[in-house]
Amino acid sequence: MKNLLLSFALSFLLCVSLSAEEAGKPNVIVIMADDMGYGDLSCYGATDFETPHIDQLAAEGIRFTNGYCSASTCTPTRYSFLTGTYAFRKPNTGIAPPTSPSIIPAGTPTIASMLNEVGYKTAVIGKWHLGLGGEEGPDWNGELKPGPLEFGFDHCFLLPTTNDRVPQVYVENHRVLNLDPKDPLWVGKKKPTEDHPTGISHRDTLKMDWTHGHNSTIHNGISRIGFYTGGHAARFRDEDLADKWVEKSVEWMEENKEEPFFLFFASHDLHVPRIPHERFQGATPLGFRADSIVQLDWCVGELMKTVDRLGLAEDTLFVFCSDNGPVMDDGYADGAIEKLGDHQAAGPYAGGKYSVYEGGTRTPFITRWKGTIEPDVSDEIVSTIDLYGSLTTLTGGSIPDDGALDSFDVMGALLGKPDATGRVDFVQQDNGKGGNYGFRSGDWKLQRHDSKKTRNLEVGKLLENTPVPQFQLFDLSKDPGEKNDVIEEHPELAEKLKGQLDEIITSGRSRK
């Protein structure tokens, strides 16, 4: 009898031990919206439309009021999210052109490779926009490597660039999907022939007109940035993108439900050209931009339903975030400005995409892990760049000394643990070309504009360059809209913050 009881006790303790170990390795789904502002969800104050599924994530988890991405454009934010390193540390991490080689150097540790090493199945589905291929750029008719599979992902199904840039094809793992060798795909920077249809020469054929810059090759009635020919069997229809991301994500989760998995669901919905599926067109009074938000909310709902159906809700950590703040007219005449009404896409914050004002990088940020995270609203400072360091701690992974140079462990704050804190200070950047930075330290925000100009101070107006002083200082506790520069009233504090920012930029790393 004693032996039986001892055996039972040992079995019980083993089960408890395994459960504790498994509890540290939840499935992780990171949903990254594209060009979504702080005020673009009903749980963050939007009133002209509703986002019930994302609202549910917030109601069942933690809604952060100080959640950030690290840059106010997509490529540098995605780079820093995956590598845990500020994008300004590496040249050529601005918005990637269609022919860009891989921006992430071969052998770079990533959040995916770390999770892969501790037993996770990993996938990225959706927008990539970090370049593909070696120094010569993508081989569209051959193997597209290095790419996600060389950086720790087991599977990828991609929009290779961003949809206002050519080509409009899917990439699955190393190859363009459904590409006919008899109709090779060519992508270039120059018009291939004199009679090649473009948004300039065939403007009267467009179903969505361009306003600036997006006037090269036409596909699906929309002209894009860059030129391409061929690959007709591989081309997709813009309206079907969101459905395809959901389809492939559900399929992959079903195939990998028995093991811990990491899914990076990289939405494209709010990014131009905004062409939601027909069933979402007219869903809001604000036009295609807000219709695309409702479409994204549907996508989130489908992922949540799948997790519930597979019985994984209490084993899955959701993180919802955005790659940068909002923009209205970003190259197409889609009514975003004209139909904006009273909607405040950036919430109470100034600036948006392309700027280091708060509206450029302070975005919706939500975590949910049923049974582990208690519902709450948090003022702690958290950022997409810290997901690498935080998940490393949670899952028992490791970071090499030369990896994740700026990613900190804020998992306690992400999980809402009592007395846990987020970041103390944080660097924001724009697209990287102008050398413009924001440095938040507590409630203080230093702006450093080496270009002495900024973009898009008021979301809802046409993009324009606005002159600004090289340095400005704001007290966000009193002035969240960054309207009152107080640098002359606090010269010593300003000099201290300038020194701290310069040290972070020049030192090569901030993680000790």
**How far is the C-alpha of 233 from the C-alpha of 344, rounded, in Å?**
41
Residue 19 pLDDT greater than 60, yes or no: no
- Residue 14: per-residue pLDDT: 37
Residue 1 pLDDT greater than 70, yes or no: no
Residues 41-83: tens digit of each pLDDT = 999 999 999 999 999 999 999 999 999 999 999 999 999 999 9
Residues 142-177: tens digit of each pLDDT = 999 999 999 999 999 999 999 999 999 999 999 999
Provide the pLDDT confidence category of residue 6 given band limits of 50, 70 and 90: very low
| Fold designation for 25-420 | Alkaline Phosphatase, subunit A (3.40.720)
Rounded percentage of the chain residues whose pLDDT exceeds 70 = 95
Q: What is the CA radius of gyration of the chain?
A: 23
According to CATH, where is 3.40.720.10 located in the chain?
Answer: 25-420
- Paired with 218 in beta bridges are 223
Provide the pLDDT confidence category of residue 13 given band limits of 50, 70 and 90: very low
Residue 462 pLDDT greater than 80, yes or no: no
Question: For residue 211, how many other CB atoms are within 10 A of its CB?
Answer: 16
| Fold designation for 426-507 | Arylsulfatase, C-terminal domain (3.30.1120)
- Residue 24: per-residue pLDDT: 66
- Residue 383: per-residue pLDDT: 98
**How far is the C-alpha of 28 from the C-alpha of 411, rounded, in Å?**
13
- Residue 205: per-residue pLDDT: 98
The predicted model gives 347-363 an average pLDDT of: 96
Provide the pLDDT confidence category of residue 456 given band limits of 50, 70 and 90: low
**How far is the C-alpha of 124 from the C-alpha of 155, rounded, in Å?**
7
The predicted model gives 124-128 an average pLDDT of: 98
Residue 185 pLDDT greater than 70, yes or no: yes
Residue 17 pLDDT greater than 70, yes or no: no
**How far is the C-alpha of 482 from the C-alpha of 14, rounded, in Å?**
55
- Share the mean pLDDT of the chain: 94
Provide the pLDDT confidence category of residue 340 given band limits of 50, 70 and 90: very high
Residue 270 pLDDT greater than 80, yes or no: yes
The predicted model gives 224-247 an average pLDDT of: 98
Residues 395-425: tens digit of each pLDDT = 999 999 999 999 999 999 999 999 999 999 9
- Paired with 378 in beta bridges are 64
Residue 3 pLDDT greater than 50, yes or no: no
Better pLDDT: 308 or 14: 308
Residues 310-323: tens digit of each pLDDT = 999 999 999 999 99
Residue 11 pLDDT greater than 80, yes or no: no
Which pair of structure tokens corresponds to residue 232?
A: 């007709």
Burial class, 187, CB count within 10 angstroms (exposed 0-12 / middle 13-18 / buried 19+): buried
Backbone angles phi, psi at 44, to 5 degrees: -115, 15
According to CATH, where is 3.30.1120.10 located in the chain?
Answer: 426-507
**How far is the C-alpha of 269 from the C-alpha of 40, rounded, in Å?**
13
